[in-house]
Structure 1
């Protein structure tokens, strides 16, 4: 594992301490999350976030445990941190931090008050919504430690206010049950019952969202730290509230052991791969239907496109093929009219992507190729052939194979954005990409060839598939190269306006990264051309991956900032997407171009934002500050995949 450790120069200063975030997860979609300095900057930050029916329908329970050291003199030193709607940050416990480290996936803080040193560690039980918080006296003492429990019970995407009912508190042995939903347990519980008004979240303010909420100070725990090694611990859990978890110290050690085992099972070649293997583990969750993938923390749930794009990195590069097999079978069961369900954050089964199913074809063929699991291939083969037939016949949203050239066309329905560039502002797609998108058709050509080989491997005739592949490949090579020196992003796109007698269609030659799949996939339709790839790199590549649009193109937006509409308008108009480093590196390797230094910026990024992980997005302009989710599945998966294959 790479070393993730910060001293007082980072821990004790804002915004440095509040711009680096840690995450621990429970394997169910729930989490505990916060910042190095302890300051909550997001509505999503808390010590117990519990997954609901879907991973995205999380609720926040225990928000914080604020430590106060009670000295023998009676003096009190507060170690917590909160920002208030007045702009005041109080208390400022981060100023007493001498170190933060993330070791074996367990975050640890170390406060110093003269010769008194206290450490805190946080971990979650695996497979259960339960968090353990351990405070340990390292040196000095004796002192007492009070822990003020700030609570709520609300949707993770919202806020709770004091003008509504206070959370219900039921005393139980060793603590309390809040709202009948989660339980607190620790030493010497004293109920309080007081609103803390106007807690401010600076990241929500920056995202143009309501930044303030009120928290309920439910009560406090108190324990003695008489000599070095003494501990004061608190547990919080949901689910079966009568089923008390193991001691907090045991849960922390169990988390550390499991994290080491996850890394060892992945058989990493170096500390970067070890770090990414553990990062990948956070996204693989188990639901009632089996394994699934959380697209990103803290606000995403499961999305089939992200899951399938991430599949090889999350499952095959970490030696989790058995879980992957189970996941692929479950997703295959959602196929309808040749489309894979996009079971999104709404909790409804939706079929609204043109590419998720093609990524599914890729994931299945990669699984069989890497693992030799022909039994799974044989089981899923009829469904995969049905996908091809449905695309030939035509399916939802005008998705169909154009009989004239064998390429997939899509769209035509107002308000739809079916590719991964799916942002909409006020219901209008920012990049609708109606027509024949380049990456969709690269995936189609790749999928046909992969399925044909799988079909032959299983002893069936693949003549028809090879015929479809040849037709689509020939058309791709003819249609997509553009006079500007790279590939069209979309061909046969509806022209926004054209003069009388002009063509109603045009070919979009804006420089975007989608074309990378035309050279990077195992059965890519094109052989990479060095000159073309260098032009693409010159316009798109940044230290954190390719931009979604070149800076000299119309519509480029260099900062992914502001309110929801501003951010959505910039989402695919120049914003950097780290996951695209995967196809970029693959294309460079196939062209025989050097790739040794292409991952340096992303490797350094592992300690800059979401600690030990990779962000969803970043600004298109320097210094390419990270944006979006701090912990994103396909960003981690693609970096791990190309790092391992290098």
Structure 2
């Protein structure tokens, strides 16, 4: 039985099936995303969604969907599903679905009278090409298959509507056609493995609605262009593969290519394997460079997210080669930033004050997974250059003060991971001595000074960093630790933020901390009492002012809730690491129970992935991006830590 399998009862219940999404990527920025009944509910959904760098840095929906129609004895049965105005769904093809599973590739089984048809979809790795294979499992008489493509040719941030500028022109290619609706876009090639007839019947399907966008307070309807339909006979002994891509392909290759790509997939037959598969989807190869996308469907490569995610997405699943590939690109981006050089690398937000400190933490995880010696040999010069850059005061917004703490100005611009803004100003302004920045800073001082001392002896830089760390440790406790046993979130002159937030948890989880064991336990205890949920740590305690746990409504309402009580799984990864440090093997059963809350998510929301955040109150509904790199990464890292404790 498949780990991710749904029967007719769920599939035909749109209240259940439309909330479940699937995501497939080509590991080069392109993706396919929709619901499990192939009814698009977001403007980001589509069969072929690709970057078009000649236009901008956004993804673009070329092929929105593909409706199948089974024809037998002159009767037509349309298997498609779209939502129109007034809660009208048409043509309601979901009623023919008998089962759906996606252990290796998403597979839908339809039954129409005496016809049983299997549909399987996958993305070709590192190629902008979606493949759909149709297999006739049962049929008592001649069966015809029609495929009707719905074209968009627009950015994921926009909509298309009926217009006279859209080109209806197409050219025939082998077993298909190519077309392009607007200048600047690549041609879309639609080909079949079998010879077929194309019937040119151009029309606009008007008023298609996207319920997720409506929920989020955005415009939510568009028109899609349908140039006509492909028609061919389908038999039980001849599967038909449809290819949608931006380059022509030999139709004779399609069946073999589909089989090869399917064999390369990691089966989603367990909780961990689902997460491993999700981890692979964040890898983004552009030319010779490798990046980590922060999430799907709308995030790009963000520097902080990349460094926090990288160890969990690679080292925790023994994929050292991927770690090296991404770090090679990341190192170039770090040096370009520190030297103030323009770069073609597509790493965003390198200027944020904590990014270089997270880069050191990432190298630290490499050293723990491989060896400290290897970490020094590969990244020793990088660590020295980063720390010299910081202690010499060259960072534009991370100043080292005489007390050993680092200071950042975040009054007018969001500089931490709590980055929601309204009218250009941060919703959660965190400025001055920020608790996780200084936790990262102390960890970096200690790690780099000790690593250098181990490999270079008492070098000038090593001694300098150790001296600063001694001051930092005392100032950290004096500045952040309050009489209630937890850490202030930030301190800026007379401004003390007493909010109970999860940013203090890093001081209990990092290898190097200015806190003693009793102080760490106090932080973990209050996080357990006020922040812990089955889906992550709350971004704010319910006992603190401004608690707003539900990430719902229009953009403004969601921005005010984004970091005011919502729960984030990636933070729980560090919490559970701290818990294991404190309680060792006796903590294993507790950590395993916490993991159950995430295993439940494998069959909800985006199948086999973890969404961006959850409401902070029951029922802890998943929100935001359908798959989020930091969440997947930290859960994988937690599973890896559990394995290590089990093997002790």
The normalised TM-score by structure 1 is: 0.91
Aligned to 1:611: 607
- Asked if 1:410 corresponds to 2:414, the answer is no
Residue matched to 2:206: 197
**Alpha carbons of structure 1 residues 531 and 95: separation in structure 2 relative to 1, 3 Å:** same
Aligned partner of 1:543 among 514, 534, 541: 534
Deviates further, 427-436 or 463-472: 463-472
Does residue 255 in structure 1 map to residue 261 in structure 2?
yes
The equivalent of 1:438 in structure 2 is 435
Name the SS for the 2:549 alignment partner: coil
- Alignment partner, residue 522 of structure 1: 511
Using a 3 Å threshold, how does the CA distance of structure 1 residues 251 and 220 change in structure 2: closer, same or farther?
Answer: same
- Distance between the aligned counterparts of 2:231 and 2:263, measured in 1? 29
Greater shift in the superposed pair: 299-308 or 160-169:
160-169
How far 1:321 moved relative to its partner?
1.5
Contact 1:343/1:350 (8 A) holds in 2:
no
Shift of 1:86: 3.7
Kindly indicate whether the alpha-carbon contact (under 8 Å) linking 1:302 and 1:345 is maintained by their aligned counterparts in 2. no
Q: Aligned equivalents of 2:432 and 2:200: distance in 1?
A: 62
499, 505, 514: which one aligns with 1:510: 499
1:393-432 to structure 2, matched below 5 A, reads: 393-403=392-402, 405-411=403-409, 415-432=412-429
Contact 1:123 1:251 in 2 (8 A): no
Query: What is the RMSD computed on CA atoms of the aligned residues?
Result: 2.6
Is residue 640 from structure 1 mapped to residue 636 from structure 2 by the alignment? Answer: yes
Shift of the 155–580 alpha-carbon distance from structure 1 to 2, 3 Å rule, reads same
Distance 2:322 2:540 in 1: 36
More moved, 598-607 vs 464-473: 464-473
Q: Does 1:184 align with 2:184?
A: no
Q: Give the corresponding residue for 1:563.
A: 554
The answer to whether 1:219 aligns with 2:228 is yes
Segment of structure 1 superposing worse, 188-197 or 50-59? 50-59
Residues 510 and 373 of structure 1: CA distance in aligned 2, closer, same or farther (over 3 Å): closer
Query: What is the distance in 2 between the residues matched to 1:610 and 1:167?
Result: 35
Q: In 2 relative to 1, CA 447–260 (structure 1 residues): closer, same or farther, beyond 3 Å?
A: same
Distance 2:209 2:370 in 1: 49
Counterpart of 2:565 in structure 1 is: 574
Change in CA separation of 1:563 and 1:589 when aligned onto 2, cut-off 3 Å = same
Shift of 1:459: 2.3
Q: Secondary structure at the match of 2:102?
A: strand
Task: Provide the secondary structure at the position in 2 that maps to 1:471.
Answer: helix
**Secondary structure of the structure 1 residue equivalent to 2:160:** coil
SS in 1 for 2:416: coil
Q: How does 1:153-302 map to 2 (within 5 A)?
A: 153-163=153-163, 165-173=165-173, 174-179=175-180, 180-186=186-192, 187-226=196-235, 228-238=236-246, 241-244=247-250, 247-260=253-266, 271-302=270-301
Listed as ranges, the gaps of 5+ residues in structure 1 are 264-269, 494-503
In the alignment, which residue of structure 2 is the partner of 1:496? none
Cα-to-partner distance string for 1:453-510 (whole Å, 9 max, x where unaligned): 332343252222222222212222232222233211112x2xxxxxxxxxx5222120
Once the 2 structures are TM-superposed, how far is the Cα of residue 360 of structure 1 from its aligned partner?
0.4
Query: Counterpart in 1 of 2:370?
Result: 371
Contact persistence 1:32–1:49 (CA under 8 A): yes
CA apart distance, 1:623: 0.7
1:403-424 alpha-carbon deviations (Å, 9 max, x no partner): 1x21111015x53111111110
Give yes or no for the alignment of 1:383 onto 2:382. Answer: yes
TM-superposed deviation, 1:175: 1.9
2:580 alignment partner, SS class? helix
> Residue in 2 aligned with 1:498?
none
Alpha-carbon distance in 1 for matches of 2:27, 2:414: 31
Matches within 5 A, 1:78-93: 78-93=78-93
| Greater mean deviation of Cα atoms: 612-621 or 338-347 | 338-347
Query: Could you tell me which of 433, 455, 459 is aligned with 2:456?
Result: 459
- TM-score normalised by L of structure 2: 0.90
Tell me by how many angstroms 1:337 deviates.
8.9
Cα shift at 1:614: 0.6
Equivalent-residue separation in structure 1 for 2:91 and 2:342 (angstroms) = 42
Deviation at 1:236, TM superposition (A): 0.7
CA distance in 1, matches of 2:223, 2:340: 38
Cα pair distance change 1:337/1:94, threshold 3 Å: closer
**Contact kept in structure 2, 1:132 and 1:233, CA below 8 Å:** yes
Contact 1:57-1:345 within 8 A present in 2 as well:
no
> Once the two structures are superposed, what CA deviation does each residue of 1:38-90 show, in whole Å capped at 9, x if it has no partner?
11101111111112349962111111110111122x11111110001343111
Contact 2:505 2:523 in 1 (8 A): no
Pick closer, same or farther for the CA change 1:4–1:582 going to 2, 3 Å. Answer: same
Kindly state the Cα deviation for residue 399 of structure 1 after the two structures are TM-superposed. 1.6
Q: Does the 8 A contact of 1:284 with 1:314 survive in 2?
A: no
Distance 2:454 2:52 in 1: 42
Residue 337 of structure 1 contacts residue 390 of structure 1 at CA under 8 Å; is this kept in 2?
no
How far apart in 1 are the matches of 2:289 and 2:251? 23
Instruction: Give distance in 1, aligned partners of 2:342 and 2:428.
Output: 22
Residue among 534, 537, 549 paired with 2:525 = 534
Partner in structure 1 of residue 478 of structure 2: 478
**How has the CA–CA distance of structure 1 residues 422 and 245 changed in structure 2, closer, same or farther, with 3 Å as cutoff?**
farther
Give 1:622's match in structure 2, choosing from 618, 623, 640.
Answer: 618
- The aligned counterpart of 2:183 is none
Change (3 A) 1:75 1:232: same
Find out whether 1:303 has 2:302 as its counterpart: yes
Distance 1:156 1:546, change over 3 A: same
Instruction: State the distance in 2 between where 1:284 and 1:546 align.
Output: 26
- Matches of 2:344 and 2:606, distance apart in 1: 22
Alpha carbons 2:80, 2:92 under 8 Å: kept: yes
Q: How far apart, CA to CA, are the structure 2 residues paired with 1:524 and 1:229?
A: 65
SS at match of 2:456: coil
